[in-house]
Each structure stands twice: as C-alpha cells, then as structure tokens.
Amino acid sequence: MFEKIKNLIENAREDVIELQSLLVSIPALAPESGGEGEMRKCEALVEYLRRKNFPEPEFYHAPDNRVPGGKRPNLLYRIKGRNDSRRVWIMSHLDIVPAGELSLWKSDPFKLRVDGDRIYGRGVEDNHQGMVASILAAKAFIDLRIAPEYDLCLLLVADEEVGSEYGIKYVLENHSLFSRDDLIIVPDSGEPDGAAIEVAEKSIMWLKVVTRGVQAHGSRPDLGRNAFRAASNLVVKLEELYKKFDRKDELFQPPYSTFEPTKKEPNVPNVNTIPGDDVFHVDCRVLPGIPLLEVESAIRLWANEIERKYDVTIEFAFSQKAEAAPPTSVDSPVVRALSEAIKTVYKVDPRPYGIGGGTVAALFRRAGYEAAVWSKLNEVAHQPNEYALISNIIGDALVFSHVCLNRI
C-alpha cells in the first residue's frame, strides 16, 4: 500500500503549488501583529478541501472579540482508520508572522513565487509546509480509498505565533480530544537533513530588569544616581551565570543553559543627561533539572549588591517564565514510528534532540501527552524571502503516510 501512496504523492507537485498559492495569498495575522486573525484563511481552506473530497471538518473555535466574527478558528479533519485503539495527530498552525521590511523581499511575500524546487512567500515553511504535507498524506488515503491503520487526525489551529491562547492551548483546556496512547506530531521544527526529532525543550525565562536612580545633568554626576551605570554592572555580572549553572546535556543544542542580555530600552534622548531610569531584558534558556527560581535568586543576589553600591533600586518583571515540560521518551511510540518512517523515506538515521526554543509540543507534554516535533526544514522561518522546498513537502507527506500505515 505504501508504494501506491508513494507513487501518488511523488507526483503531487502541482497540488503543492496550488495549495501553497492559496494559503500564501491570505495573510493570517493575530491582532497583536495588526491582523484580523485566521478565519478568512480557514474558510478558504475548508472550501478547497471540500472540492478535494475531504470529509466535513469539526470546529473548535475560540472566542476572541478583537477579530471580525469574534472567533479564532481551530478545525479538525478525521480520516477513519482500521483500528480505533489510538489516533495519529498532525498539528499545524494557520497563523503567520508579518512580512517585515518589504524592501528585503525579492517578490511579493503574499504571492507565491516558484523557482524550480523552491517556493517563496510568507508562511510557506512556517507552517504551510507541515500543513500541506499532512493534507497531501490525507488526500492520498482518500483518493486511493485506503484506510490508515489508525485514525489520521489533521488539527489546524490558530494563534501559534503569539502564544497559542486561542489555539492549541484553548483546545486542550476545553475539549477532550486526545488520549495517552495517541501519536502526536507537530511539524514545526527540524533540520535540513530531516533526521532531527525534537523531544525536549529547555525552561524559558524572559526577565525585564528595571533600574531606578536619579536623573541629573551630565556635568554634575554628584547630584544624580546613574541607573545606566548600575544596570551595566549587572549585565556584566550575568556572565557568571554560565559558570554557576554549567551542567551539560548533549541531547540539547547547545548542550548548556544560556543567559543572554538582549533588548535594551531607550533611557534619555540626549548625551548630556545622566539617566535616572534604565531598562534591559535577559533571555534565559535553562536545562531541565535546574529550577528557574535558583537562576532568579542568583540574579537577585547580585542586583541587591549593586543596589547598595550605587544607591539605586532594581526591580524584576517576567514576560515569560515556564519550567521545562517533561520530555517525550525517545522510546515512545511516536518517536519509534517517526524514526522508522524517516529511515524509509529520507535514508538517514534519525536522532532525538532538545531545543532552547519553545514549541506547542510543550503544551501537550505538560498535559501528559507524548508529542514529537519533526519536519525536514531549511530553517528560514520569519526571514525575508522565506522559502520551502517542494521536495521536502512531498517527502514529509510520505513520512506522515508511512507513520499512518503501520501498527505500533
């Protein structure tokens, strides 16, 4: 049966171009990004799949009064399998990020450009590649009238790019769709050789540091308390976090925790004023097993010393603070099934790995479900001239088909 499916999918180049053209042409931006949500894109996709003989979808829309119609779309397509003991889930997201600086694009980001094996446009890799590949796999089962071993469930969700409150987080909190025996695949991260299966993520802490002193004229520092100077001392001190929390885990890339000062907010607009306030941010990605409270406490201790030395106050705030989710076992059914399929299709030896970034797989893992993040990607998401390879989309569709055909 796999050979039949393989022959059909390998000749689906025009299907890929047709569907990617449709998806790219309808920007699906969250309100936080200046958009109206994903509903227009959802409705166009439903109509497209209806013409391709897909079953009618189930809807699990999340209420959001900031968008036209007041809803953010989450939809599910089920392809009935021979065995109802578990389901294979492939979850991709409908939303995209803004195009960014248009002058950096060589073509209209919202009109598909085809150049041999490459297709260009905002969203073609993140996350249309996973979406189109999963649809190709499902379409092959429908067209050939072959039942997968287990139900194949395509879950297409909103809001991944800005937090998933109206997407998979809403679905998990409000609907009982998943079971512990299900295979859950999130095609939203990967490497160019297709071998990497993401099974774990680091803890994440985004720390905002606000230093308050006293503003003064640049010629009279004795009358002020320089918040910028004090904050800069703390920035330098943060380097010691790498020594204090130096544990390594080769599962991750990089194999150690990272603590990087990043965003620096403006303080005073002119050269000859000593700033009374200063704000900077720190991005911490911490290996599982190291409590974030220990990292915060170390920074707080240094901040207290600097407060006393410079007679300033230093306040902390957090825009993100989440302990690492339990990892997916490298021996879990979803990892084993993916590994076998990747070997068959891409002729490489799969390898589980962990990342410092965050994916929605963490939400599944915290809810008690083992999920794997996988795709064969060139890692150009969010960049100008974002592109995907048609051959990767077709190959990923073959991997998904292989997973769905075999009993675990």
314 and 390 together in one domain: no
64 and 185 together in one domain: yes
Take residue 182 and report the two structure tokens written for it.
Answer: 């299900």
Q: What is the CATH number of the domain that holds 274?
A: 3.30.70.360
| Residue 160 is among the residues annotated as catalytic for this protein | yes
To 5 degrees, how large is the angle CA 16–CA 18–CA 22? Answer: 115
Q: What is the CATH number of the domain that holds 119?
A: 3.40.630.10
Full domain range(s) for residue 219:
203-322
Question: Running DSSP on this structure, what letter comes out for residue 168?
Answer: H
318 and 335 together in one domain: no
131 and 254 together in one domain: no
9 and 31 together in one domain: yes
- Classify residue 160 by burial, with Cβ atoms within 10 Å: 0-12, 13-18, 19+: buried
53 and 179 together in one domain: yes
Which of these is catalytic: 15, 160, 278, 323? 160
Query: Which of 269, 289, 322 is the last residue in one of the domains?
Result: 322
Query: Which of 302, 322, 342 is the last residue in one of the domains?
Result: 322
302 and 211 together in one domain: yes
pTM, two decimals, is 0.88
- Where does the pLDDT of residue 379 fall: very low under 50, low under 70, confident under 90, or very high at 90 and above? confident
Take residue 292 and report the two structure tokens written for it.
Answer: 């974030």
144 and 256 together in one domain: no
Which of these is catalytic: 38, 64, 95, 386? 95
pLDDT above 90 (res 408): no
- Classify residue 270 by burial, with Cβ atoms within 10 Å: 0-12, 13-18, 19+: exposed
271 and 331 together in one domain: no
Domains in the chain, number: 2
Which residues does 191 contact at the CB level (< 8 Å), separation at least 6? 376, 377, 379
- Classify residue 250 by burial, with Cβ atoms within 10 Å: 0-12, 13-18, 19+: exposed
Mean pLDDT of 317-338: 95
Q: What is the pLDDT of residue 284?
A: 97
| Residue 201 is among the residues annotated as catalytic for this protein | no
Q: What percent of the chain has pLDDT over 70?
A: 100
Tens of pLDDT, residue by residue over 147-187, are 999 999 999 999 999 989 999 999 999 999 999 999 999 99
191 and 303 together in one domain: no
